[in-house]
Structure 1
Amino acid sequence: MVEEHRIKQALLNYINPEATYKDIATVIAHYQNLQPLKDTYVFLDGSQKELLNLAGTIPVRYKGTVYNIPVCVWLMDTHPQHAPLCYVKPTPDMSIKVSKFVDQNGKIYLPYLHDWSQDTSELVGLIQVMIVTFGETPPVFAKSRNNDMPYPSNQYGMQGGASSYMHYNQPPYPIPGNFPAFPPYPPASTTSFPSYPTFPTPYPPYSVNPPVSAGTGTIKEEHIKESLLTAIEEKLMRKMNEDFQQNQAELETLKRTQDELKLGNTKLQTIFESLQKEKNDLEKNITVLKDKEQELDKAIERLSQQDSIDVDDAVTTTAPLYKQLLNAFAEEAALEDAIYYMGEALRCGVIDLEVFLRQVRTLSRKQFMLRALMQKCRQKAGLTSI
């Protein structure tokens, strides 16, 4: 956690610190001799910038023996958008072996760097390409009094007698003015970045599987395959993990949709059952209404066959009190009609206002007395009061 915090603090001025940290963490997990350090990088124009680098050694198998080659990988603050700057940093007992991959200043040139892509390139792949390339073409050789052997030094006494790389514990640091010429580094706010410097000599066709000569002791094809298969395996595992997480998220979304559909189906089923019940009730009510309609038709037919009945004779009461109540009600209704027509007569100008007021006063007094009489009769008869 302390190391993680230190690295993330060093990446605060980087444009994409999360992706850069993830790339660094992958390299450290595979190559523990590489350690992240923050230092000042000096450009050709004298400008300086605080950048993070991976300094240390990488294991390179050459003629059956593993050598630790010291390198320094500088990460631009636009990483992983732009390729890092890579150097071989030999000890005082070593000399740089200039080739199409390394210049006299130790600057490393690789097709992997030249074709760097932020979507497909990564630091661990770069280190593995270095290991394969340096296994075929060593970037340094040991200094000797008699002759210079173009081989890395080894603590187990390889020819040349130079000091060993096996215990290289002091990773190289940049010294102002000790770097090859580079184009000026753009400010962080710019959106463009200078293209990678043109290589001193053109690249020959790059082959992942170089020809193997029997008995020469050079790196074997299975060594190259093992290194490349490791990188491919990691990419495939990461891709499978991303696909798994994506499929898992889609599966959870589909499961939520399924739950919602099941809940909606339950609600629709409840609504359907309610509608079915209402339909059954309506059918029962229709049946009842049809029966009542038939009864009314029969009653009308029966009444139409009977003789006419005098309304006055048909309305009879069972007691004098009820007869008095009926008569009062009829008279009160007649007075109500009389007052209405008196108003119509006044409106039409048939009578004047004085006659209207006098007649309405008389009729209203009678109406009041009749209503009081009806109220008293209903109380005597035990009926509900109006």
Structure 2
Amino acid sequence: MDIKSPKVFETSDKAHADLFNEMVKVLIENDTGLLDQLISHIGDTKPHASESEKKKWNESQIYKITADDGKYLISVPADGSIFDAIKDKGTCTFIASPGVEDSPAPSNAYLRGIQTVGQNNIGTGFAVDTSGNAYYFYYNSTHISITWTQLPTAAEKDKWNSGQLYKLTQDSGDRKPLPTVLDGTDILSLPPGRYSAAGQYLTNKPTTNDSSFFNIDVEGIDTRKDIRLCRSFDNLYWFGTVHTGGEFKGWKRMITDSDAKLNWKFPTIRNGWKTYKSEVNNDYRVRVAKDALGIVHVTGAIAGGTLGEVPAFTLPEGCEPPFPLYNVGIASSTGGFKGPQFSRQYIATDGRFCIQDTTSNKDFIVVNCMFKAKE
């Protein structure tokens, strides 16, 4: 297509002719520019939109979840019903005014929500009211109303509100460490809880000069307390109670099967006495042990030493009796009248164990007794 140029104006009034000719010139230039663009567009082999793009646009979802301005899609008036408004809708946003009959919100609160699934009168969703309460809802095809459940549920809130608020441990569940101040914490004054501390930081513990780590459990009501103490390194366990009025009843140590094992010690035999040797080579060495209840056990057999107040051996430290004791022991019948013979034995408070006398010779003197050690 060619742009035809019109004839120029020729008049006797050159000024008017030039004015019109200039305007025509501009029009011709504009037409020429438009023609160039049309020719360029016709020659452009790249289409502005492909068929696949147009197909994608044509098949895109045009359903609205919100209004065009991004606000709620459905507004339920005070005399309306949320169920009726959304039951035949898909995913959508809604607002319910205060006082809507089937709104779970307080009567003075708006409710804003979204239905996340909706098909054939089946729906689920979430909503929050202007009082800050959250809810989820659902309805099925056979339902005639929405079922609302507050988040969290009332039962859950009641459970939390009724929960124990007092901390027995740290947030991690570990015991509470007590202050690291020498003699800084009185165990008997601790409130209920679970604690841990080294012994040098504790007073009123069941041991003395003890820097071991202790685990402490305290329970109580009013002025009464139940206190349990476990020493970490050897697993010894004590318990005590503070009775009405704050009266401490003392520490008691728990005895276990391991306490039944005796740690035998073998005192030195002296003053002419020696361990009895039998024909069957039994072990008659004198041995001494104190059990967990403080009972001293002495057993063995000796021969040939000095009678009287001279000790045949001395008991280990901590095994002395609280007062002088006498014991009767079996002795040999050799050289005496027929039948068993006896020896009289004396145990002094300083631990001396003496064979004072015997009805027979000194070839076989049994030492076998038990008594409570002094405290």
- Normalised by the length of structure 1, the TM-score is 0.16
Quick check: which one's strand share is greater?
2
Quick check: which one's helix share is greater?
1
- Normalised by the length of structure 2, the TM-score is 0.16
